Amino acid sequence: MAGKIFLIGGDLPVHRLGFGAMRLTGPGVWGPPQDPHAAAAVLRRAVDLGIDFIDTADVYGPGDNERLIRDTLAPYKPGLVIGTKGGMIRCGPATPGNPGMSMDGSAAHIRRAVEGSLRDLGVECIDLYQLHRVDPATPIEETMAVFLALRTEGKIRHVGLSEVGTEQIERARSVVEVATVQNRFNLTDRRHHDVLVHCEQHGIGFIPFYPLGAGTLTDAATVATIAARTGASSGQVALAWLLQKSPVTLLIPGTSSLTHLEQNVAARDLVLNDAEMTALEQMGQAPVG
Ligand SMILES: NC(=O)c1ccc[n+]([C@@H]2O[C@H](COP(=O)([O-])OP(=O)(O)OC[C@H]3O[C@@H](n4cnc5c(N)ncnc54)[C@H](OP(=O)(O)O)[C@@H]3O)[C@@H](O)[C@H]2O)c1
């Protein structure tokens, strides 16, 4: 079975089951959470449970999510790794069919964004800085050149990408080392399987976002049967499958609930046998409704 620790960029150890903080915002990822005390309690409990990797982004709020993390967790526990993202601008709440964001991968915007995240997170160097989306108006090489400069200046430690294909990864790597790739991937959505394989081949961490299908994972018969045998929930089976599928997956399930957080963290101890892994793999080969 794959180990529990992954070295981001070869030198930053994290447990492979982390926490995605996006849900700790207002509706539509807009503004602060409706209950800031409850949101802070989730963050504190995550760290108490041994989570040492938290994912956020400047557009969650915007700014509110990074500031909630700072106000709740700073001074940070040694070894806690925070990954944030830049390269997008939030113009309003996300609504069905409208993410409420636009892209900007220009050097001027990335520099402004990094300064904002350094301030909002209360750090002198960002452990993992991810390009949230590739801006079609800016060649990825141009955006990566500013990431490289920011790394040289000590403002960011490692570089990540999000929602990219293998060709974009290679174009980025022609400019700067890429430590992680964060793409949508879960039991019922494996369109980026080639990217996962590419990451394995190059020792790049693969961070599947929506690991729980954003809470909409179907209770397919295969999953339900495995859940019943193991006494786990279908969500825990989905997370355990991602952990066992590859040694480079780094999970960031999101929740605003303490109970769900504890359930998700418990998935790190769930061991699926070979037959169960095979059944879950085969499930991905047929269209899943
Ligand atoms: N790179 C990108 O473009 C991108 C895009 C989206 C997300 N992300 C990152 O990925 C992280 C994870 O994504 P996500 O939070 O949207 O989706 P997710 O982790 O797949 O699912 C979260 C949803 O599932 C529910 N949930 C969580 N644990 C549960 C449990 N044990 N039982 C039942 N329901 C449960 C949550 O509701 P409750 O709050 O009620 O638990 C929430 O609605 C985000 O936090 C963010 O950091 C990145």
Domain ranges of the chain: 5-216+248-256
State the Cα–Cα distance between residues 133 and 115, nearest whole angstrom. Answer: 18
Write out residues with Cβ below 6 Å of ligand 1: 20-23, 55, 132, 162-163, 182, 209-215, 235, 252-257, 260, 263-264
**How do the pLDDT tens digits run along the chain, 289 residues long?**
468 999 999 999 999 999 999 999 999 999 999 999 999 999 999 999 999 999 999 999 999 999 999 999 999 999 999 999 999 999 999 999 999 999 999 999 999 999 999 999 999 999 999 999 999 999 999 999 999 999 999 999 999 999 999 999 999 999 999 999 999 999 989 999 999 999 999 999 999 999 998 766 666 888 999 999 999 999 999 999 999 999 999 999 999 999 999 999 999 999 999 999 999 998 866 544 3
Residue 284's pLDDT is: 64
Q: How far is CA 212 from the centre of its chain?
A: 12
The rounded Å distance from CA 177 to ligand 1 centre is 28
Q: Would you say 172 and 138 are in contact if contact means Cβ atoms under 8 Å apart?
A: no
The rounded Å distance from CA 146 to ligand 1 centre is 30
String of DSSP letters for 120-142: HHT-SSEEEEEESS--TTS-HHH
User: Given the CA of residue 130, which atom of ligand 1 is nearest to it?
Assistant: 1
Q: Would you say 2 and 45 are in contact if contact means Cβ atoms under 8 Å apart?
A: no
Residue corresponding to tokens 């960002």? 126
The rounded Å distance from CA 82 to ligand 1 centre is 17
Spell out the CATH class of 5-216+248-256: alpha beta
Catalytic residue among 60, 76, 129, 210: 60
Q: Would you say 278 and 245 are in contact if contact means Cβ atoms under 8 Å apart?
A: no
The rounded Å distance from CA 211 to ligand 1 centre is 7
Catalytic, 76? Answer no
User: Given the CA of residue 213, which atom of ligand 1 is nearest to it?
Assistant: 20
Best mutation site among 23, 183, 189, 195 for ligand 1, i.e. most ligand atoms within 8 A of its Cβ?
23
Q: Would you say 260 and 18 are in contact if contact means Cβ atoms under 8 Å apart?
A: no
Best mutation site among 209, 262, 268 for ligand 1, i.e. most ligand atoms within 8 A of its Cβ?
209
- CB-based contacts of 222, cutoff 8 Å, min separation 6: 279, 280, 282, 283
